[in-house]
Amino acid sequence: MKIPMVERCCCFELETGGKILGWLGIIFGGIAGLLMLGGLVMVFSLSCDDIMTDPNFQDVTQNFSRDNCTVMKAVVVVILVIVLAVTLVSVIIDVLLIQGISSRNPGKIIPAVVIQAIGFVSTVAKGLFAFSGEGIVSAIIGGAIMFYFFLVLYSLYVKIRDEKKAVQNTQFSQP
């Protein structure tokens, strides 16, 4: 089965659309990274006594001991660190995408295409396991958007790859 190609990203050229996707990824990744760092600061700045006596946490902490609080803080730290690492990798991939478009290097675009495909598959999988109408509708809409952006990035990759091959072929065929 051949993957369909697109000529444009919304109303932009593929290159411009790819750069917009890359910059949006960097901006939102930066915001997410700052939020994760803020969450880590908050976890480390709150003592278990503060958490146990705070009325906002009463529903959660009424059956917790101090040991449970320490374990929960450790779990939250691990989750935040993992999310921060994934966010950092995502930002690096978006930087590579922009560099790949600017330098006409298809190899730097591949990671963004793969991540977009993974995002599409995970969004669709989430929809399959959604047990609410809102979850299913959200997964369908999100999946459609993710698939379209996958097609944009894949089409951009193929276009730049083919341009590079054409240049190499003309260099070797000239006397």
Q: pLDDT digits over 134-171, tens only?
A: 888 888 898 899 999 999 999 999 999 999 888 877 76
pLDDT band at 174 (very low <50, low <70, confident <90, very high): low
pLDDT tens per residue across span 93-118: 999 999 999 999 999 999 999 999 99
Tell me what pLDDT residue 72 has: 81
- Name the strand (E) or helix (H) holding 12: strand 12-13
The structural domain count of the chain equals: 1
Tell me what pLDDT residue 151 has: 95
DSSP alpha helix (H) spans, 46-132: 48-53, 58-61, 66-103, 110-128
pLDDT of residue 175 exceeding 60, the answer is no
Is the residue at 1 inside a domain? Answer: no
Tell me what pLDDT residue 133 has: 80
Using a pLDDT cut of 90, give the percent of the chain over it. 54
Is the residue at 3 inside a domain? Answer: no
- Which residues constitute the domain of residue 65? 8-173
Is the residue at 54 inside a domain? Answer: yes
Tell me what pLDDT residue 79 has: 94
Is the residue at 152 inside a domain? Answer: yes
DSSP 8-state code for residue 3: P
